[in-house]
Amino acid sequence: MIRRNTSNQAQMLLATGVVLMMALLSMAIFGVKSAGLSMPYDDSGDSTIDASIEVTLALPGLAESRANIWYEGGLTELESVEKAMDSLHQDVLHHGEIRGVELKLLNITITEESGIVTVDCELGAADRNSMLSRSISFDLNLD
């Protein structure tokens, strides 16, 4: 009789443990899902498009402003634009991190002809839902 009672107690203890583990697992899954709700961006799908438009519109003006600073400091036109684009690449990466979108300036080529510097690059943008690539080209006159 003692064996049967001990066996029942062990089964009840095991069942209680399983129920507790299931409850903890359920709370852990809920916690992981809730943690995603506090992200600083909207993942509705248009964040990639919005961020790429912002960068495309701002890039020529920012590049010209920064290149002028370097050019006035004594660098050549080509060197000043190269430094400006290097710093803008880092800023675009950081802007993407803040927005929850991966943004990168790819294949940056800078050419100079008759005092006009032409910048050609590709903007890559991606988030959880979408990915796009956009060509950007603009001319700078540093005088």
- Blockwise average pLDDT, block size 10, the chain, 143 residues: 66 85 80 57 67 90 91 90 92 84 91 89 86 91 77
Q: Specify the pLDDT at position 22.
A: 85
Could you give the 3-state DSSP secondary structure of residue 21? helix
Asked if 128 and 107 touch (Cβ cutoff 8 Å), the reply is no
Q: Specify the pLDDT at position 38.
A: 47
Q: Cite the beta strand spans of 1-130 per DSSP E.
A: 102-113, 116-126
Q: What are phi and psi of 5, to 5 degrees?
A: -65, -40
Q: Specify the pLDDT at position 63.
A: 92
CA distance 97 to 62: 19
